[in-house]
C-alpha cells in the first residue's frame, strides 16, 4: 500500500476525533519516547533544567523554580481518571473547595499552570497529563449555533470557568500549532507518521474547541461592552478581565476576534474608571478596590499593549488576595521598569514562603483570601503557580509587546 493511501486510511480511522461534540471517544494517544520527530525541547526533569526566558535584569531564583516544580508534581496527583481536575477533589492534607461542580474551570486553571512552565501535550515531563486535560475540555465542546459553553458551576463560576477553559485551549493553540504545519510531512517510520497525524488532528480539534469557546464569549458580551459574573446582574470587571484574557490569547493564536467587540470593552472600562483612570470600580454600582483596579488596568494594557498604564505607587502584593495578586503581577510585568522589579522582589518571597513543603500535601498552597472557601487549595495552588510563572514568559499572554 502506498504512503498516501496509508495516510488516508489513518485519517479515516481517526475520524472519531474529527468533529467536536462527537459521542465516540477518540483513541488514546500515549505520548512516550521517542518523540524526536516532534522537535520538542527535552523533558523538564528538574528545576535546574527548566527552559525559561527570565525578564532581563531579574535574577531567576532557584527557590522559585523549585516551588513551581514541586507544585506541578502535587497538581498532577490531583488529576482525575477522566483527565479533569475539581476544586473539591484534593488529596490528603489539603483543603477541598466548596465548589463541587466546576470541573472545566478547575481543569482550565490547572492546564494553564502546566502550560506556564512550558509543559504541553507534545513536550515536557507532563505531556501526557496535559494531553489528558486538554482532551477532557475538547470533549466538552458541544457546539450549538457555532459556540460552545464550557461554563460549569453555580453563580459566577459559570462565567469564570468558561473563560479559564477557553483561555487554556487558546494558549495551547498558540504554543503548539506551529509544531504541526502538516500531518503528511516526510517522517521516518510508520509509528512516527501515525503519531504526527494523530497529534495534528488533535491540534485541529483543540483549535476548533478554542474558537467555539471564543464565539460563546462574544455572543454573551453585554451591550455596554463588559461581561457578567451573574446573569441577572450588570457586567463587572471580574468577569470582564477573564473574558479579555481569553480573547487576547485568541488573537495571539490567530483565532477570529472582531475588533468591534474589543472596542466596546474599552467603552465599558471608561464607565468604571475614576480618579482620572487611576482606579476602577468593580461594576457600575460597585466600589473601587485594589483587585478591581488591577483588573481594569490589565484589561487596558491587553487591549492596547502600547498604552501607558497609570500605576498606583502604593500597590503591594502583601495586601492583595490571590486573584488580585496574579492580576497585579501580570499587569506590572507587562509594564516593566522599577514598579515591576519592586513588586516582584516582594512577591516571590511571599508566595514561596507560603507553600507547604512537608506532609502529604507538600507542594500545594493553603487557601487564603476571598475565594479561599470556594476554590480551596487547588485554586490557591493554581493561582500561586501562575503568579510565579509570569516572568517565565512561556504563556503568550505573559509576553510583552515589542516596543
Read off the pLDDT of residues 340-378 as tens digits, 9 standing for 90 and up. 888 888 888 889 999 999 999 999 999 987 677 789 999
Q: Which helix (DSSP H) or strand (DSSP E) does residue 226 occupy?
A: none
User: Which helix (H) or strand (E) is 306 found in, with range?
Assistant: none
Q: Say whether domain 3-42+67-398 belongs to CATH 1.50.10.
A: yes
Judge whether residue 65 has pLDDT over 90. Answer: no
As beta bridge partners, residue 288 has 281
Instruction: Please compute the mean of the pLDDT values over residues 115-138 and round it to a whole number.
Output: 93
Query: What are the residue ranges spanned by the domains of the chain?
Result: 3-42+67-398
Task: For strands 279-280 and 273-274, give the pairing.
Answer: antiparallel
- Tell me the CA end-to-end span of the chain in Å, nearest whole number: 54
The radius of gyration computed from the CA coordinates of the chain, to the nearest angstrom, equals 21
Between CA 50 and CA 65 the distance in angstroms is 8
Cβ–Cβ under 8 Å, residues 252 and 395: no
Q: What is the mean pLDDT of the chain?
A: 80
For residue 320, pLDDT beyond 90? no
Mean pLDDT of the 120-134 span: 92
258-262's contacts with Cβ under 8 Å and 24+ in sequence apart are 258/218, 261/218, 261/221, 262/303
52: pLDDT strictly greater than 60:
no
Residue with cell 486573584: 323
Lowest mean pLDDT among 8-22, 66-80, 182-196, 216-230: 8-22
Whether the Cβ atoms of residue 71 and residue 355 lie closer than 8 Å to each other: yes
Percent of the chain with pLDDT over 90: 52
* Residue 366 host element (H or E): none
Sign of the dihedral through C-alpha 297, 218, 112, 402: negative
Amino acid at each position: 500500500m502506498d504512503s498516501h493511501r496509508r495516510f488516508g486510511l489513518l485519517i479515516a480511522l481517526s475520524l472519531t476525533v474529527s468533529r467536536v461534540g462527537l459521542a465516540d471517544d477518540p483513541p488514546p494517544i500515549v505520548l512516550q519516547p521517542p518523540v524526536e520527530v516532534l522537535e520538542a525541547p527535552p523533558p523538564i526533569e528538574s528545576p535546574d533544567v527548566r527552559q525559561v526566558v527570565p525578564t532581563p535584569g531579574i535574577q531567576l531564583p532557584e527557590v522559585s523554580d523549585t516551588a513551581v516544580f514541586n507544585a506541578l508534581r502535587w497538581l498532577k496527583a490531583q488529576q482525575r481518571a477522566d483527565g479533569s481536575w475539581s476544586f473539591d477533589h484534593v488529596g490528603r492534607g489539603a483543603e477541598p473547595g466548596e465548589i463541587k461542580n466546576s470541573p472545566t474551570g478547575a481543569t482550565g486553571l490547572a492546564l494553564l499552570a502546566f502550560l506556564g512552565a512550558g509543559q504541553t501535550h507534545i513536550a515536557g515531563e507532563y505531556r501526557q497529563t496535559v494531553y489528558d486535560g486538554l482532551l477532557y475540555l475538547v470533549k466538552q465542546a458541544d457546539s450549538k449555533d457555532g459556540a460552545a459553553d464550557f461554563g460549569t458551576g453555580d453563580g459566577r463560576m459559570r462565567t469564570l470557568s468558561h473563560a479559564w477553559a477557553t483561555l487554556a485551549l487558546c494558549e495551547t493553540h498558540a504554543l503548539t500549532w506551529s509544531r504541526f504545519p502538516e500531518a503528511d510531512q516526510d517522517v521516518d517510520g510508520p509509528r512516527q507518521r501515525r503519531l504526527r497525524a494523530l497529534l495534528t488532528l488533535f491540534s485541529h480539534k483543540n483549535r476548533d474547541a478554542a474558537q467555539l469557546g471564543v464565539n460563546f464569549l462574544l455572543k454573551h458580551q453585554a451591550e455596554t461592552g463588559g461581561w457578567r459574573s451573574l446573569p441577572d446582574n450588570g457586567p463587572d470587571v471580574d468577569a470582564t478581565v477573564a473574558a479579555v484574557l481569553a480573547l487576547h490569547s485568541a488573537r495571539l493564536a490567530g483565532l477570529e476576534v472582531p475588533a468591534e467587540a474589543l472596542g466596546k470593552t474599552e467603552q465599558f472600562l471608561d464607565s468604571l474608571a475614576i480618579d482620572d483612570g487611576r482606579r476602577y470600580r468593580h461594576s457600575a454600582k460597585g466600589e473601587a478596590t485594589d483587585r478591581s483596579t488591577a483588573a481594569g488596568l490589565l484589561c487596558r494594557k491587553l487591549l492596547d499593549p502600547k498604552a501607558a498604564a497609570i500605576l498606583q505607587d502604593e500597590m503591594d502584593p502583601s495586601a492583595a488576595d490571590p486573584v488580585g495578586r496574579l492580576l497585579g503581577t501580570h499587569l506590572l510585568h507587562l509594564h516593566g521598569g522599577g514598579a515591576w522589579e519592586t513588586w516582584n522582589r516582594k512577591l516571590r518571597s511571599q508566595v514561596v514562603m507560603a507553600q507547604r513543603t512537608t506532609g502529604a500535601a507538600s507542594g500545594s498552597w493553603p487557601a487564603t483570601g476571598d475565594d479561599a472557601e470556594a476554590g480551596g487549595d487547588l485554586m490557591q495552588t493554581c493561582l500561586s503557580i501562575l503568579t510565579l510563572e509570569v516572568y517565565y514568559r512561556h504563556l503568550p499572554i505573559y509576553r510583552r509587546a515589542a516596543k
